Structure 1
Amino acid sequence: MKKFVRMALATVVALVVGLALTSCTEDSSQDKENKAKQDTYDHLVAQQPAGRMEYSPTREAINQWIKTWGKRGKLSYVYIQNANGEYGYFIMKGLPVPRCKMLTPTERVESYSNGVAVLSQPGMDGTYTTGSTCNAYYGFDATTGAYMEFTVGTNQSFFLFDKPMTMPEYASAKQLGPTSVKDVEKQP
């Protein structure tokens, strides 16, 4: 019993000494800077709390996007403008998809005793990508189902609509894919 009491007493003393020593250490300069930043943030939040909206136009826009594009068979009218200001168009089933979008996770997180590693996963085609293909888009022609791909950037932009545009710059756009606006208008 005496041995147990001595062990318990030694453990308590070690804990007290350990806690006392840890409380004596000074905060690092980084800790001080982080505390100053947090104190400033707390002060500003108290002085200028975030306002409260009664209505969110952003949420309305997102919900409208969902209503517009959440329909099977919805057509996209993609107008491309080149560096000379000339327009062309093609019509796709659904939205153009960035090539960097995947249906499976692109990374896997592995935990080790000395840290965490984020590892790349192969894509659906069994190859790895750097994610640099986000400026390349693909989709399928509205009437033929033909695969189409286009790249934007460096003097080329695209404009996406859910209906054909009649503004002059769009109305005179050259047909770039198999389907024309007239082809789609003929469909039931």
Structure 2
Amino acid sequence: MRKTARTARATVVALVVGLALASCTDDSSQDKENKAKQAGYDRLVAQQPAGRMEYSPTREAINQWVETWGKRGKLSYVYIQNAKGEYGYFVMKGLPVPRCKMLTPTEKVESHNGAIAVLPQPGMDGTYTTGSTCNAYYGFDATTGAYMEFTVGTNQSFFLFDKPMTMPEYASARQLGPTSVKDVGKQP
């Protein structure tokens, strides 16, 4: 009896291992195409390896952005162009922020019995958002602290600078917020 049970177990184990190995060596058309794609990629990389940069202008630009905007009290000059090509401007404390940015996670990943679900989380105001407010920006006026919000898209663009612009299209821009470029120039 014991020998028969061992033989049966050995047969089952061999069958399971055989099936597992067979499933690992699946030769479907997708597998064949994936292997061909990988082989082609490997050949191209061997013939044309990625070059190595001695210097990264991208990293320099990011570090310069951090140096420019990473200071408390830094002002931004937001010039907005409408569909008619007319310009207006705001002077804001810091950078304008897209309304879809949050300080808390907007999603939570949960798994149960191998199933994964991505669940939305409420925002700071206790409500849920779809993230569709990324074309709306807000900030605070440079001298009064007044809340300001604007949208971009639909023939309206904004241009952000860390100093007032003197080019003709910007120099003649209409003041849209409480602070003018002249007001900021008078501050110590």
Q: TM-score, normalised by structure 1?
A: 0.92
Q: Which amino acid letter does the alignment assign opposite residue 67 of structure 1? A: E
* Counterpart check, 1:88 vs 2:88: yes
Report the secondary structure of 1:33's partner residue.
helix
Q: CA deviation at 1:6?
A: 6.7
String of CA shifts for 1:11-59, please: whole Å, max 9, x gaps.
4443333222343454222222222222222222112111100000000
* Counterpart check, 1:174 vs 2:174: yes
Distance 1:38 1:54 in 2: 29
Q: Which amino acid letter does the alignment assign opposite residue 177 of structure 1? A: G
String of CA shifts for 1:119-150, please: whole Å, max 9, x gaps.
11111111111111000000000000000000
Q: Which amino acid letter does the alignment assign opposite residue 187 of structure 2? A: Q
Report the secondary structure of 2:138's partner residue.
strand
Distance 1:152 1:131 in 2: 15
Report the secondary structure of 1:88's partner residue.
strand
What are the within-5 Å matches in structure 2 for residues 148-167 of structure 1? 148-167=148-167
User: Which residue is equivalent to 1:15?
Assistant: 13
Question: More displaced, 19-28 or 58-67?
Answer: 19-28
Task: Quickly say closer, same or farther: Cα 1:45–1:153, change in 2 above 3 A.
Answer: same
String of CA shifts for 1:39-94, please: whole Å, max 9, x gaps.
22222211211110000000000000000000000000000000111100010000
User: Which residue is equivalent to 1:72?
Assistant: 72
Where structure 2 has 5 or more consecutive residues not aligned to the other structure, the ranges are none
Question: More displaced, 80-89 or 106-115?
Answer: 106-115
Q: TM-score, normalised by structure 2?
A: 0.92
Distance 1:76 1:114 in 2: 48
Report the secondary structure of 1:185's partner residue.
helix
What are the within-5 Å matches in structure 2 for residues 125-136 of structure 1? 125-136=125-136
Q: Which amino acid letter does the alignment assign opposite residue 15 of structure 2? A: V
Q: Which amino acid letter does the alignment assign opposite residue 95 of structure 1? A: L
User: Which residue is equivalent to 2:27?
Assistant: 27
Distance 1:187 1:9 in 2: 92
Distance 2:186 2:156 in 1: 30
The size of the alignment, in residue pairs, is: 186
User: Which residue is equivalent to 1:46?
Assistant: 46
Report the secondary structure of 1:140's partner residue.
strand
Of all paired residues, the percent bearing the same amino acid is: 80
Report the secondary structure of 1:30's partner residue.
helix
RMSD, aligned CA:
1.8
Q: CA deviation at 1:113?
A: 1.2
Question: More displaced, 137-146 or 8-17?
Answer: 8-17
Where structure 1 has 5 or more consecutive residues not aligned to the other structure, the ranges are none
